[in-house]
Amino acid sequence: MHMINRALLAVGVACVLQPPARSQSTSGAVGQPVPQATAPADVALPGSVASELIAHVRSIAQDQRGNMWFATDGQGLCRWDGKSFTFFTEKEGLPNDYVRTVQIDSAGNLWITTRDGLCRFDGNIFTRVPVPPAADPPLLTPDLLWFESEGGAMHFDGDRVGFLRLPVEEADKNWRSEVPGLNPYRLYSVHKARDGTVWFGTETRGVCRWDGKSFTWLREVDLDKSVVRSIFQDARGHTWMGNSGVGLFRYDGKELRNFGDDNNIGNRTWLQGSLIRIPGTIGDPHAIMQDKDENVWIGAFDSGVWRYDGATMTNFTTKDGLPVDAVSAIYEDRAGKLWFGTRRGVCTFDGKVFAPVRGAADSKFR
């Protein structure tokens, strides 16, 4: 595995912190199995081939054959095979071209969330999966897939799709939004943690942790003031949360803290009316992950990419090779290369340089 070189801290702006069977069926209701499919030898459904990707990339996944898949805002689902980009859109059966997440199950099927709900792609057919009625919670198994939804989360156990509804507090029972479309319990992020728990990031009710039996809410230090777009539990058991407008949070199992505020890199201008970009600060984190070298990476829509090695936060921006400073997805492939989804396409980081991903025919491709 290619490992990230810790000596590269000088590349960015560093500040030292305190250590601390293929089918068209749409069945998906509880008790009804979703048809299975093995990974196709090749994607049979034709798509639109292009030499570049310049759309906003919100999610990234790698399939068993090494193809990279990107969820884009407005250009549908995109596949990169190492030479060119192939786009699958509403024309091919995708419910909506605004794609939020993409995941791959053990059988090789792609599960895609869009503005118009969840669907599955087996390489031939896009199958819409309706939201089933809430039922008994599933067993928390390692292979369980989770998908954001209104007021709860859909899940797939390899056979059936179910729905887990979040508990609504008494004060919210009769809540009616004055803003059309606003739902304080709508999910924007779901994370299956290392300790077996599942974490849900909501619109304006903070974060909910579910251990398979009970729900625990985290709302302190303004975590519930805006959308929680990303959650990740690292190897030490610390849970990181990205609040879109209030910054980066960390929960150590006992106390929830605003990590940015604690380390003098916070940006809370959103609470005063609108988020104002301030160099060297983080106020709008959209993606969090940990690489195999146990560095925590944070992608922010206002400040590029941050790397935390346990003591130091290093900020990478366009001056270090990012196409733009708005980053919303991070993924480590099986070779150890990091992929970053940005507001304008994707780039990679091999431990030395950030490089834009372009068609192989492009002389600038790296």
Mean pLDDT of the chain, nearest integer: 86
Q: Which domain holds residue 55?
A: 6-169+181-356
Does residue 364 lie in a domain region? no
Give residue 176's pLDDT.
Answer: 64
Residue 48, domain CATH: 2.130.10.10
Q: Percent of the chain having pLDDT more than 70?
A: 84
Q: pLDDT per residue over 153-210, tens digit each?
A: 999 999 899 999 998 887 777 766 666 667 889 999 999 999 999 999 999 999 999 9
Q: Containing H/E element for 262?
A: helix 259-262
- 9 with 314: CB under 8 angstroms? yes
C-alpha atoms less than 13 angstroms from C-alpha of 96 in its C-beta half-sphere? 12
User: What's the confidence (pLDDT) of residue 355?
Assistant: 93
Asked if 165 and 155 touch (Cβ cutoff 8 Å), the reply is no
In-domain check, residue 340: yes
Q: Does a structural domain hold residue 279?
A: yes
305-364 residue pLDDT tens:
999 999 999 999 999 999 999 999 999 999 999 999 999 999 999 888 899 998 765 434
Distances (CA, A) of 281 to 25, 316, 337, 354: 48, 12, 26, 21
Are 60 and 346 within 8 A, CB to CB?
Answer: yes
Residues 6+ apart with CB under 8 A from 213: none
Q: How many domains does the chain have?
A: 1
Quickly tell me which residue has 């980009």 as its tokens: 85
- Residue 362 placed within a domain: no
- Residue 361 belongs to some domain of the structure: no
The DSSP string of 35-87 is: PP-PPPSS--S--EEES---SPEEEEEE-TTS-EEEEEBSS-EEEE-SS-EEE
* 175 found inside a domain: no
pLDDT above 50: residue 300: yes
DSSP class of 259: H
Tokens in use for 354?
A: 């950030």
pLDDT, residue 25, reads 35
Closest CA to 287 of 271, 273, 306, 270: 306
